[in-house]
Amino acid sequence: MPGSPNIASIFAQRVVVGVGDMSVSNNASLTLSTYALGSCVGVVAYDPAVRAGGLLHLMLPESRLSPEKAARQPAMFADTGLPLLFRALAGLRADRARLRIFVAGGANVLGSGVDNFKIGERNIRATASYLSQVGLSVVRSDVGGTINRTLHLDVGTGEIKMKTPTANETYSLAA
């Protein structure tokens, strides 16, 4: 019957990754989601061979801005959150050589207003710098600009759905 739920949709689960947080999973019925990435950066990493993925919603570029906060919430910062993400994925048997990475966010949410702190730009630079230093490349990104982005990673398929105020796009990290 059209419109009826299928078995997979009945058991599907969603984990919401908040600001300065992260989640990893190899549960094929799980979707990792983060909402309204403005100047924050969302990093999705996925290993299609073991169908394990992770989502990090980092807020600031450097933990030296608040070492106490970084100790309590390391996912908040690029320099502590990114290593945490990749260690957690390794715990799920994800192989760094197979990781497919998507990066989004880092917008100037003030639009045409002046952003003296340039947090979005600094988050993008810190993320790119770390990934380059550890030899990981990004397969796709959607960064900068003035719009917010919402990300959903389907752990079972490696599909990312990105929603913005003007569009809905789908990308695959499985290929």
Q: What angle do CA 171, 101, 20 make, to 5 degrees?
A: 105
Mean residue pLDDT across the chain:
93
Contact (CB, 8 A) for 97 and 86: no
> What is the domain partition of the chain in residue ranges?
17-170
Nearest to 149 by CA among 69, 42, 43: 42
How many other C-beta atoms are found inside a 10 Å radius of the C-beta of residue 117?
11
Q: For 124-141, how does the pLDDT look when each residue is reduced to its tens digit (9 = 90+)?
A: 999 999 999 999 999 999
Q: Whole-model pTM?
A: 0.92
- Of 4-13, 29-38, 47-56, 62-71, the one with minimum mean pLDDT is 4-13
Domain 17-170 listed as CATH 3.30.1330.200:
yes
Q: Which residues pair with 16 in a beta bridge?
A: 33
